[in-house]
Amino acid sequence: MDLADILTRTQILPELRAVDRWAAIDELIQNLVDTGRIRPEDQPAIAGVVYRREKSMSTGIGFGIGIPHASTDLISEVTGALGRSRTGVSFEALDNQPVHLVLLFLVPQGQFQKHLHTLANIAKLLHRADFRQALELAPDADAMLRIVQEQGKK
């Protein structure tokens, strides 16, 4: 599964307000509630599984990227939200640098291979400097989605 398969324009936040990883995760989960990807009553439980995963080891993988993720039986298909912070989010990243692109994704429980495959594809794409730079310079969510759709297929 590719990033373009997971995101819609409404699942892209070009101006994250969060200043730390917990607030960024909350903001992205709220986006999934607002866009109908997860039910409001499931929000606390989903936040809990993402927090547990994040507490075990930061998903700030370096290069200004954070990829919080988790498996849950509260969804039926892979979903996610992408946020961009121009000022940077404190994420306790491996390189100790602020994170500018945060991609939260959720995979249905029991789909371990899909989870690993999705994570690998997303990490590979976000490790490309040209892709990150294009997302960071894009003027709005529409432009960011076009970049994901065009570059995600390379």
Q: Which residues are identified as catalytic? A: 69
Written as six digits, the tokens of 118 are 């999705």
CB contact burial 77-104 (16+ within 10 A = b; e otherwise): ebbbbbbbbeeebbbebeeeebbbbbbb
Provide the 8-state DSSP code for 98. Answer: P
Q: Strand pairing partners for 60?
A: 66
- The residue written with tokens 């960071």 in the block is 136
Q: How far apart are the first and last CA of the chain?
A: 14
- What residues have CB less than 8 Å from 48, skipping those under 6 apart? none
